Amino acid sequence: MKLEGKDTKIFELMRRELDREEYSLILIASENYADEDVLAAQGCVLTNKYAEGYPTKRYYSGCTHLDEIESIAIERAKELFGAEHANVQPHSGSSANMAVYYAVLDRGDTVLGMDIAHGGHLTHGAKPSFSGKWYRAVSYAVSEKDEMLDYDEILAVARKERPKLIIAGASAYSKFIDFKKFREIADEVGAYFMADIAHIAGLVAAGLHPSPFGHAHFVTTTTHKTLRGPRGGIVFCNQEFAKKIDSAVFPGIQGGPLMHVIAAKAVALHQAMTEEFKQYQKQIIANAKYMAKCMADLGFRIVSGGTDNHLFLVDLTPKNVTGNEAQVSLEASGIMVNKNLIPFDTRSPGITSGIRLGTPAVTTRGMKEKEMEIICVMIDAVLKNLNDRSFMENTRAKVREFCKGFPFYSRMYDI
Ligand code: DSN
């Protein structure tokens, strides 16, 4: 790394983070390891250039190469998902969602999204977010019976609340989402339908999760989760809404695009078209299913009864442990998870009764079912020895050795 011997403070912190990522088990469902090609594109001279506008219609001179890069990113995004129009400029998934709202809603309009306490996202109408402050946000939840989406119930809420926009998509929901049904509900109440596939984009691209394309008016995603690219967002729509979406992203809610990130998105989208990527996505799901089974065999309760995708929620109540206690002890043991509310949780979001486990990052390292079982046994052991500092330190050392068998960044950097 070039900072060595120059900005020593930042260099040292970057080195430590590299070490943490390489020698920890990352089970945070929204995280992944971008490879050297994505990192190279994201850390290059393209960061220097202003390119407000869109390819061939910029407000600055010197954009020829950037026009080509952005056009390639757009074409790859459209091809990968089978979309008519793609805007690759959103800086994040939140910006992508905000752009859709900005394009079709007025302040005070009603939006219907999944309750954040049941797995939805902040920008789907949660009170502290712009989506809950500027719009009249109402929500649907999972059913108390099986912790799954109940489409009759969603229709009933939609009929009562008459939203102008219905949002499907989640940050912590492990079952398939029926986008076709969502569109039928939207049509019945005269609403727009937006699918936020940030978490499952890689699975959708690989054909392993039902696609929202052909059903949703708008599809938004991030590029850094299962898609394994740089941090960022994309909005898709049909030609009919292309102009509205483009003007909502720029100049509506953003200024200059991050062209280095757009180049890295193009690289990741190219990778996502390969057979290797498809196999990777298959293994993500196989690992998540097997991991959920192992956790259930160890006496944990799996929310919604299992998983169809890359993640699942573990209810820790049977073990008398809170999500926060689990997160803290597991982090000290080199295992990164996040505390998560479970549906109908009686605890606060800062404490929670559950944790969320995801397999995209460990699968990138080449881990398979056998390793998932070993990880589950380690998690169980840590949670049985919650306050035992030396147990956590021993586990930390074991995790470090375990990770050495699946090198990722240590193949590229001297760590
Ligand atoms: N914060 C992300 C997650 O962890 O799911 C969603 O944007």
The Å distance, Cα 73 to ligand 1 centre, comes to 23
The Å distance, Cα 147 to ligand 1 centre, comes to 20
> pTM of the prediction?
0.97
The Å distance, Cα 171 to ligand 1 centre, comes to 6
Q: Which of 28, 31, 92, 225 to mutate to test the pocket of ligand 1 (most atoms within 8 A of CB)?
A: 225
Say how far apart CA 409 and CA 36 lie, in whole Å: 8
Give me the phi and psi of 20, to 5 degrees please.
-60, -45
Tell me, what's the pLDDT at 1? 61
Give me the phi and psi of 4, to 5 degrees please.
-55, 130
Residue 222: pLDDT band with limits 50, 70, 90: very high
Q: Which atom of ligand 1 is nearest to the CA of 172?
A: 5
Q: Is 30 in the pocket of ligand 1 (CB under 6 A)?
A: yes
The whole-number average pLDDT for the span 248-267 is 98
The protein residue with its alpha carbon nearest to ligand 1, atom 1, reads 30
The Å distance, Cα 332 to ligand 1 centre, comes to 22
Q: Which atom of ligand 1 is nearest to the CA of 28?
A: 4
Active site annotation includes 401: no
> Of these residues, 19, 50, 180, 413, which one is catalytic?
50
Three-state DSSP state, 79: helix
> pLDDT by residue (tens digit) across 308-331?
999 999 999 999 999 999 999 999
Residue 414: pLDDT band with limits 50, 70, 90: confident
Tell me, what's the pLDDT at 251? 98
Sheet holding 311-315, edge to edge: 301-302, 311-315, 354-358, 338-340
Q: Is 220 in the pocket of ligand 1 (CB under 6 A)?
A: no
Q: Is 360 in the pocket of ligand 1 (CB under 6 A)?
A: no
Residue 387: pLDDT band with limits 50, 70, 90: confident
Residue 413: pLDDT band with limits 50, 70, 90: confident
Cβ-in-10-Å burial (0-12, 13-18, 19+) of 410 comes to middle
Q: Which atom of ligand 1 is nearest to the CA of 31?
A: 4
**Is the per-residue pLDDT at 291 higher than 90?**
yes
The whole-number average pLDDT for the span 400-407 is 98
> Of these residues, 58, 76, 225, 339, which one is catalytic?
225
Q: Which atom of ligand 1 is nearest to the CA of 93?
A: 7
CB atoms under 10 Å from CB of 328, counted, come to 14
- Alpha helices, DSSP H, located in 211-304: 239-247, 259-271, 275-297
Active site annotation includes 12: no
> pLDDT by residue (tens digit) across 176-216?
999 999 999 999 999 999 999 999 999 999 999 999 999 99
Domains of the chain in sequence order? 39-271 (3.40.640.10), 275-411 (3.90.1150.10)
Segment (H or E) for 73: helix 64-81
The Å distance, Cα 225 to ligand 1 centre, comes to 9
Active site annotation includes 363: no
Tell me, what's the pLDDT at 5? 85
**Which residues have CB under 8 Å from 374's CB, separation 6+?**
402
Active site annotation includes 404: no
The whole-number average pLDDT for the span 156-166 is 98
Tell me, what DSSP letter sits at residue 142?
Answer: B
Q: Is 292 left (phi over 0), alpha (psi -120 to 50) or beta?
A: alpha
Tell me, what's the pLDDT at 354? 98
Q: Is 171 in the pocket of ligand 1 (CB under 6 A)?
A: yes
The protein residue with its alpha carbon nearest to ligand 1, atom 5, reads 171
The Å distance, Cα 381 to ligand 1 centre, comes to 27
Say how far apart CA 352 and CA 404 lie, in whole Å: 32
Give me the phi and psi of 258, to 5 degrees please.
-90, 95
Cβ-in-10-Å burial (0-12, 13-18, 19+) of 38 comes to buried
Q: Is 223 in the pocket of ligand 1 (CB under 6 A)?
A: no
Q: Is 95 in the pocket of ligand 1 (CB under 6 A)?
A: no
Tell me, what's the pLDDT at 239? 98
Active site annotation includes 369: no
245 or 414: which leads in pLDDT: 245
Tell me, what's the pLDDT at 3? 76
Say how far apart CA 360 and CA 200 lie, in whole Å: 10
Q: Which of 121, 124, 174, 221 to mutate to test the pocket of ligand 1 (most atoms within 8 A of CB)?
A: 121
Q: Is 32 in the pocket of ligand 1 (CB under 6 A)?
A: no
